[in-house]
Amino acid sequence: MENNRLAIITGASSGIGLACAEKFAEGGWNLLLTARRSDRLKLIAIKLEKAFKITVHIQEMDVRERESGAQLAHYITRNHLNPHLLINNAGLAVGIEPIHEGLTDDWERMIDTNIKGLLYVTRSITPLMTAQGFGHIINIGSIAGKETYPGGNVYCATKYAVDGLTKAMRMDLVPYGIKVTQVAPGAVETEFSSVRFKGDQTRATKVYQGFTPLSPADVADAVWYCASLPAHVNVNDLVIMPTAQASATIIHRKME
């Protein structure tokens, strides 16, 4: 049954964001789900409302649009909602070319989504949290924000930015009792690689061959843990990896 707490999840139409929606719905939270593919959000909302007797709001949104955050905040205030948790999850990698062959369109998609999009949403939701005197922001970073790897250049830079912004946001928001957490996963099998390789399923599938990657639900469990701690306890940074992955570049694969 619903517990009157509201989680806002960006990028909830797929992968980690969708798994978080399912996990928090199961825990009785009401949800505000956002993504560009609203057709998917509609189906997810119907399913979760029916299964868990919660309220699921949806907002079609491209986080790259400067007004997206403000529109989201407007929806929240218009509907008299109190955001307890913001999961800044929407993000992507596009391409894996070395720096001297990189495509500037790809770079802009990553910078606009992973950094600027996260900032637009955060800038709009944090005043609601400071005004209400509580809140929690969980940024989905990456192992790519801790270590670089060949061809990772701009994607890694965006996730290093998420790492830095998480620390900076915590400093700015600590006087208001608002928690700020980063969950930084290694390899998770989602649509991520399909997007990175621009629909090339053969290349995407190879990323996860020969080992057991994290599932989106594994990451959602970690996010849930961070959100479930007592008011005086905060996880600053949680790096979660498949057991077979020792670093961004070292994955122990058993090939047949």
SS3 string, 124-143, reads HHHHHHHHHCCCEEEEECCH
135 binds, among ligand NDP, ligand 8X3, none (CB under 5 to 8 A by kind): none
Partner whose binding site includes residue 64, from ligand 8X3, ligand NDP, none (CB under 5 to 8 Å by kind): ligand NDP
120, 149, 155, 225: the active-site residue: 155
149 counts as catalytic:
no
Residue 248 binds: one of ligand NDP, ligand 8X3, none (C-beta under 5 to 8 A by kind): ligand 8X3
Given a contact cutoff of 8 angstroms between Cβ atoms, the answer to whether 248 and 186 are in contact is yes
Which residues from 50-109 bind ligand NDP, rule CB under 6 A? 61-64, 89-92
Residue carrying structure tokens 């789900």: 33
- Quote the CA–CA distance of 63 and 113 in Å, as a whole number: 6
Instruction: Pick what 13 binds: ligand 8X3, ligand NDP, none; C-beta below 5 to 8 Å, kind-dependent.
Output: ligand NDP
What is the rounded CA–CA span in Å between residue 123 and residue 59?
17
Q: How many CB atoms lie within 10 A of CB 196?
A: 20
Query: Least distance in Å: CB of 232 to ligand NDP?
Result: 28
State yes or no: residue 219 binds ligand 8X3 (CB under 6 A): no
Q: Which does 36 bind (CB under 5 to 8 A by kind): ligand NDP, ligand 8X3, none?
A: ligand NDP
Closest separation between CB of residue 125 and ligand NDP, Å?
Answer: 15
Binding mask 140-159 for ligand 8X3 (x = CB under 6 A): --xxx-------x-------
Residues 76-105, interacting with ligand 8X3 (CB under 6 A): none
Q: Site size for ligand NDP, by CB under 6 A?
A: 30
Helix (H) / strand (E) containing 225:
helix 216-227
Whether the CB-CB separation of 65 and 77 falls below 8 Å is answered with: no
Check: CB of residue 81 under 8 Å from CB of residue 132: no
State the Cα–Cα distance between residues 180 and 88, nearest whole angstrom.
Answer: 11
Q: For the chain, what's the residue count?
A: 256
Closest CA to 196 of 89, 99, 109, 100: 109
Minimum distance, C-beta of residue 187 to ligand NDP, in the bound complex (Å): 5
Closest CA to 28 of 53, 9, 47, 57: 53
State the minimum distance, in angstroms, from the CB of residue 152 to ligand 8X3.
6
Closest approach, Cβ 216 to ligand NDP, in A, equals: 6
Sites of contact with ligand 8X3 (CB under 6 A): 142-144, 152, 187, 248
Catalytic residues: 155
